[in-house]
Amino acid sequence: MQVTITINGSAETHEVEPRLLLVHFIREQAGLRGTHWGCDTSNCGTCVVWLDGKPVKSCTVFAAMADGHEVRTVEGLEQGGQLDPVQQGFMECHGLQCGFCTPGMLMTARALLDDNPDPTETEIRVAISGQLCRCTGYENIVRSVRWAAEKEASEEVTA
Amino acid sequence: MTTVEERPHTGFGRTLRKEDVRLVRGKGNYVDDVRLPGMLHGALLRSPHAHAKILSIDTSAAEAMPKVLAVITGETLKGLGLAWMPTLSYDVQAVLATDKVRFQGQEVAFVIAEDHYAARDAVEMIEVDYEPLPAVVDAKKALDPDAPVIRDDKENQANNHIFDWESGDQAKTDEVFANAEVVVAQDILYPRVHPAPLETCGSVADMDPVTGKLTLYTTSQAPHAHRTVYALVAGLPEHKIRVIAPDIGGGFGNKVGIYPGYVMSIVGSIVTGRPVKWVEDRAEHLMSTSFARDYHMRGEIAATKDGKILGLRVNVIADHGAFNATAQPTKFPAGFFHVFTGSYDLQAAHCKVTGVYTNKAPGGVAYACSFRITEAVYLVERMVDVLAYELKADPAELRMKNLLQPEQFPYTTQTGWEYDSGDYPKALKLAMDMAGYDALRREQAEKRERGELMGIGVAFFTEAVGAGPRKHMDILGLGMADGAELRIHPTGKAVLRISVKTQGQGHETTFAQIVGNELGLPTADIEVVHGDTDQTPFGLGTYGSRSTPVSGAATALVARKIRDKARIVAAAMLEVSPDDLEWAGDRFHVKGDPEQAKTIQEIAMAAHSSLELPEGVEGHLDATTVYNPPNLTYPFGAYICVVDVDPGTGGVKVRRFIAVDDCGVRINPMIVEGQVHGGLADGVGMALMQVIAFDEEGNHLGASFMDYLLPTALECPSWELGETVTPSPHHPIGAKGVGESATVGSPCAVVNAVLDAIKPYGVRHADMPLTPAAVWEAMQGRPIRTDLAIP
């Protein structure tokens, strides 16, 4: 079957098997390898992307279900050569080590801040609790998200 | 707020990681991201049985599937002499099973197809006729006379015994125990766990049929060791093998060994003449790749009535699974378990370890264990708490009373380790101060009055990391020394080539900092090349916290060679004698005249110019070195964990965790703290959630993240870190390595805290993982066996 999915603003039209997972469509058909696959059981969350503005685990969505919809991936965070504040926060606060969970964490973090610009530590922990990181013990991921929240708040004041 | 892009930075201290620039953009390059023209996809058929005879394999239906190019079985490999491969412990392991399957998930056949989905479909079409055999799942019963023999492929193997190994003075230890006022014994299990890096294992093999050159992209922590092993296994000429370990999504020791899937991708590429990718799924990863621990220990501790610890005695049954494939220095079949004497001044100690085969996946040394030091530290720190329980002593005070004193270093343990340096009481005191230890004990007493269960767990650890020296430590005859190569280009930019391979530890940053510290070059001007055997010098790789202790030392020393050469060049430039020059961090100047100076960048250009150099001095500014460590380094730390236990459910909440680490000099404190954070989460996971258990048929009960529970952000508290710095006296920059410290030290602190909480129920010990059910049963006086689902 033919599906068309708009990924980071570009339409991707491909002939696919109905069983093709969205994560594989993104990686293989669209060639965007920033989104990772990690577990098959919706536990690890390294495959998190946005589907119509909401984070989803793309290993649990068929590409066919995303036909005609909008997807945003980690490659779509940087705008006009400027890193998103969550990307900056992860760099500033050492929110990543091996980097494998990072794309999913970044997409969840961006969605959280859009929804709640000033989250508490607990709110951040709840937001990322459907995702696994094996390197950071989560501490610096929490700090990274707070860093991004504070940066955005300070930019809003200056704007 | 400052921007996050690179700023001028030189030497040690916090600086942002170079690797993050690509990783936060989704521009990393992991094995599964590798795409080669004409690339095919492989998938493995795995055994559903833990122990069964293979009667027949029918691949015809699979071969008839669309998009399938080949189906390879053990019979095919037999013809090539590749059905079995050597392990890193001088055993053999089946690449694809021929006679029997020996654990659930074992590799049986390999399909090569045009795409991943087609390969998986074809795997389902292979028909194997098995005759199930009784499985050995309880390590304690593996040596029973009626136990089925797992390794009947080996000549003269009439039982499931692998090795007996001991350390320490048994007679002296027995004498100390015979005369001791207090002797306490305890059975302690360190259950089987799996490191579960978020990226599974995989490889892309590309054998060029014209040149005969094999390029293997693979998830390897030890690319050079892998290259040599492939040369030995497959008879491929070593100069025609290039192993590339690109970005690795976590390793933790899981990616040290060579797995059948890697070998099959190579075979597949040879058979088809095209590149073949193999990437396992999560269930395959958890079921077949290197697990950790599975040590069944009986510890005994001897002491005086007033709490002076005299001796330790340990007997271990070590479950190595179906093939002895532990990845460790070959002369150490139990790894470095004999550092079980811990951080205390003992009169005698003895341990005996018996390795056995079971119908489980091979492995054992993985998961940031520093070659079994996790098991050793867990044993001794649990035994100290068991002693405290019996003596009704405070566990922190008991430790303080027995810790080695600073003036005792260098200290030789009863099992022969020479601890290089330390101030243990200072670290424990700092941890107790940070925790507010006395206030916590008062709070606990008040809560106990009200029936609330709060626990405070203390653990102290001494690590031994940075293997070699090569004389004592090798893997399959390859000595554990590592090379480094440094080139300073004419404009003063540098390229460092190292043998070790980051899996997230940030080598591209910290190793640049080491060079910068020695030569005064900005971190941004130093490129670190690693993970490609065609581009880097030989070395044994990254595991056992050895990167900084070994390769970091090589890096400092190769930079010092450059500095020595730069002195000669600068002397020629300034027309003075080299002895008249003084190094000033980033330049040489004439002694007493700082104006008469040449920066390292100026020297680099001159070294490549037509400047006349003294007789015998080559031009350019390059150097190589091989570092053979004189001793291990000995990081240490004091950890305190505070938990609350729900008396109604046995559920544990980790409220606080205080970790004081001493890893010597810290190159990049930000990265050091990150390493500690990750290890502390491991401790919470192992203590409370993680276990690879089996049922009586040998079914693996943790083959997905729904069954094998890992800690999330909600189970982890906000870590409270402290530090002391005792530089290693023999390491060029005084660093000790830190990658595994927290994983080694933290599980026992959590367990000790939980058991401290339920002490009012008369519980002295219960085994990990302390799930709500395990805690509840222990509170009822019915401690459960956590590794087996057998009634």
**ipTM, two decimals:** 0.98
Residues of A in contact with B21 (CB under 8 A): 91
E strand or H helix that includes residue B528: strand B526-529
Confidence of residue B6 (pLDDT cuts 50, 70, 90): very low
Mean pLDDT of the residues in chain B: 96
Contact state of B713 with A142 under an 8 Å Cβ cutoff: yes
The predicted structure's pLDDT at residue B790: 66
| pLDDT tens-digit readout, A36-95 | 999 989 999 999 999 999 999 999 999 999 999 999 999 999 999 999 999 999 999 999
Residues on chain A touching B20 (C-beta within 8 angstroms)? 90-91, 96, 99
Return d(Cα B679, Cα B459) in angstroms, integer. Answer: 14
pLDDT, one tens digit per residue, over B231-266 is 988 889 999 999 999 999 999 999 999 999 999 999
| A-chain residues near B704 (CB < 8 A) | 39-41, 43
Place of tokens 């004497």: B341
Q: What are the φ/ψ torsions at residue B359 (nearest 5 degrees)? A: -85, 60
CB–CB of B361/B275 below 8 Å? no
User: For residue B107, which of B133, B85, B138 has the smallest C-alpha distance?
Assistant: B85
Q: What are phi and psi of A125, to 5 degrees?
A: -60, -40
- Residue A25 sits at φ, ψ, to 5 deg, of -60, -45
The answer to whether B597 and B587 are in contact (CB under 8 A) is yes
Residue with tokens 């240490």: B636
Q: What is the pLDDT of residue A53?
A: 97
| Cβ(B399)–Cβ(B384) below 8 Å | yes
- Choose among B195, B214, B228, B39: nearest CA to B115: B39
Residue B7 clears pLDDT 60, i.e. is over it: no
A53 touches chain B (CB under 8 A): no
> Within 13 Å and on the Cβ side, how many CA atoms surround B17?
29
How far is C-alpha B405 from the geometric centre of its chain's CA atoms? 29
Under an 8 A CB cutoff, do B20 and A126 touch? no
pLDDT of B59 > 50? The answer is yes
Question: Mutating which of B5, B24, B67, B547 best tests the A interface, going by the most A Cβ atoms within 10 A?
Answer: B24
- Beta pairing partners, B656: B642
B548 within 8 A of B510, measured Cβ to Cβ: yes
Mean pLDDT to the nearest integer, B461-487: 95
From the list B658, B690, B688, the residue with the least C-alpha distance to B751 is B688
Residue in A with minimal Cα distance to B117:
A20
Evaluate if residue B272 carries a pLDDT over 70: yes
Is residue B1 over pLDDT 60? no
For chain A, give me the number of helices (H) and strands (E)? 5, 5
**Which pLDDT tens digit goes with each residue over B65-87?**
999 999 999 999 999 899 999 99
**A17 interaction partners in chain B (CB closer than 8 Å):** 117
- Which residues, 6 or more positions from B199, have their beta carbon under 8 angstroms from its beta carbon? A36, A38, A98, A100, B30, B31, B32, B219, B248, B249, B250
Asked whether the predicted pLDDT for residue B689 surpasses 70, the reply is yes
| pLDDT(A8) > 80 | yes
Instruction: Verify whether the Cβ–Cβ distance A96 to B710 is below 8 Å.
Output: no
Average pLDDT over residues A135-139: 98
Look at residues B240, B242, B195, B203 and name the one whose alpha carbon lies nearest to residue B219: B203
pLDDT at B789: 85
Residue A97 has pLDDT above 50, yes or no: yes
The per-residue pLDDT for B2 is 42
- The residue of chain B with its CA nearest to that of A102 is B24
Interface test with B, best of A41, A98, A110, A123 (most B CBs within 10 A): A98
Tally the residues of chain B. Answer: 791
The alpha-carbon radius of gyration of chain B (Å, integer) is 27
Q: Would residue B21 be called left, alpha or beta, if left means φ above 0 and alpha means ψ between -120 and 50 degrees?
A: alpha
Q: Decide if pLDDT at B712 tops 90.
A: yes
Q: Give the distance from CA B781 to its chain's centroid.
A: 36
Collapsed DSSP state (helix, strand, coil) of residue B357: coil
- The answer to whether A98 faces chain B, any CB pair under 8 Å, is yes
Judge: A92–B30 Cβ closer than 8 Å, yes or no: no
pLDDT for the residue B232: 87
User: What residues of B are in contact with residue A81 (Cβ under 8 Å)?
Assistant: none
What integer pLDDT is reported at residue B9 of this predicted model?
87
Q: Is the pLDDT of residue B5 over 50?
A: no
Does A58 lie at the interface with B, CB-CB under 8 angstroms? no
Residues on chain A touching B25 (C-beta within 8 angstroms):
34, 74-75, 77-78, 83, 87
Query: Which residue type occupies A66?
Result: A
How is residue B236 written in tokens?
A: 């491929």
Question: Average pLDDT in the B724-740 region?
Answer: 97
Interface contact A34, partner B, CB < 8 A: yes
Contacts 24+ apart (CB under 8 A), B770-778: B770/B652, B770/B687, B770/B688, B771/B650, B771/B688, B771/B689, B772/B646, B772/B649, B772/B650, B772/B651, B772/B652, B773/B650, B774/B650, B775/B645, B775/B650, B775/B651, B775/B652, B776/B649, B776/B650, B777/B650, B778/B650
Q: Can you tell me the distance from the alpha carbon of B296 to that of B142, in angstroms, rounded to the nearest whole number?
A: 12
pLDDT band at B8 (very low <50, low <70, confident <90, very high): low
What confidence tier does B614 reach under pLDDT thresholds 50, 70, 90? confident
Whether B750 and B654 have beta carbons less than 8 Å apart is answered as: yes
Between B24, B198, B283, which is nearest A38 by CB?
Answer: B198
Q: Tell me the Cα Rg of chain A.
A: 16
- Collapsing DSSP to helix, strand or coil, B721 comes out as strand
Is B710 in Cβ contact with A132 (below 8 Å)? yes
Interface test with A, best of B2, B30, B124, B198 (most A CBs within 10 A): B198
SS3 string, B637-669, reads: EEEEEEEEECCCCCCEEEEEEEEEEECECCCCH
Query: What are the pLDDT digits (tens) for B167-216?
Result: 999 999 999 999 999 999 999 999 999 999 999 999 999 999 999 999 99
Q: What percent of chain B has pLDDT over 90?
A: 96
Query: Among B628, B630, B629, B634, which residue's Cα sits nearest to residue B411?
Result: B634
> Smallest Cα–Cα separation from B399: which of B415, B411, B387?
B387
DSSP letter string, B85-135: EE-TTS-EEESS-SSEE-STT-EEEEEEESSHHHHHHHHHT-EEEEEE---
Residues of B in contact with A41 (CB under 8 A): 282, 704-706
Count of CB contacts below 8 A, A vs B? 175
Instruction: Show the tokens assigned to B625.
Output: 């070195």
Give the pLDDT confidence score for residue B4 in this predicted structure: 43
Whether pLDDT at B691 is above 50: yes
Smallest Cα distance from B413 to chain A, Å: 32
Instruction: Answer positive or negative: Cα dihedral of B606, B610, B613, B617.
Output: positive
The verdict on a CB contact (< 8 Å) between B706 and A132 is no
Share of chain B above pLDDT 70, in %: 99
